[in-house]
Amino acid sequence: MLDLAVAVSDPPVTTSQYRYVETHAWWLGSFGLHQYLCEQRLRQWVPAHLERDWLLERELTGAHTWLTGSAAAARAAGFNLRELVPTGRFRARYGEFAVQDDPELAHCAARRRPPAGNWQTPSVQFFQRLPRDPNTLLERLCADNPGSWFSPFAAAVTSLRTGLVPAALRGALYRALTGLPGVSVHEHAPNIDGHDCLALVHDAGRTRTELLIDPATGQFAGERDTLRAASRSGLRAGMVISTTAVRVAVVDEAGARP
């Protein structure tokens, strides 16, 4: 395990405020034999009192690029990106959004207790239960995620992309990840918005995954997945199949932007 020195901090949040998590993403989609990257922006407002309604805003910018197939062939087959990706604003307690085809009808059944959560579906309560010692955390991470389809590194990224992992746990998690095989540390790795980041790189398996960290705050700042080998579906080795930039801030009300 490397002695990774990353300063970690969280902005203070008063009881009436919201944690704002914005994700700028290019994500892989498919339509028949056609595969593409489409640009999306997700904005989430998480109340300090978690039992209050959370707000999620999902936007399609309309930008997309074809990795296999072509725009003309996809349009001829009936491709309509806005029919494939639900957009709009959604509210739910504890962030359990039930996105339906019509955003106006989106709802979530009221929950009396917060979700326990796990590595696949992380929650604030789950983060509170995790150990802060890097060695113990690494053991827990590997014990809970022994399969190749959801590796310990992938589990950590899934938790971090929520933007809700507290500072002490983030610092421990970054150090723990350096103890995994195939993980290295790279400086000056820009995220999709051009922010200069520190990267933990997992160069093994199907993809080369970069976990991007804001060096000033230790906040998760995005990720990037690059294919290490050609896929059966026609994607070539070296293709970026997912890339994001994430920022976290504090605002006074749901719907407000920093």
Q: Residue 51 above 60 pLDDT? A: yes
**Domain end (from 81, 114, 147):** 114
Q: Residue 10 above 70 pLDDT? A: yes
Q: Are 245 and 195 in contact (CB under 8 A)?
A: yes
In a domain, 257, yes or no: no
Q: Residue 99 above 90 pLDDT? A: no
Average pLDDT of the chain to the nearest whole number: 89
Tell me how many domains the chain contains: 2
- Among the residue ranges 113-127, 156-170, 181-195, 229-243, the one predicted with the least confidence is 113-127
**Domain end (from 83, 114, 145):** 114
pLDDT of residue 248: 96
Claim to verify: residue 109 and residue 126 sit in the same structural domain: no
**Domain end (from 65, 87, 114):** 114
Residue 101 confidence class, pLDDT cut points 50, 70, 90: very low
- State the average pLDDT over residues 140-163: 92
The parent domain of residue 92 ranges over 15-114
In a domain, 35, yes or no: yes
Q: Are 68 and 227 in contact (CB under 8 A)?
A: no
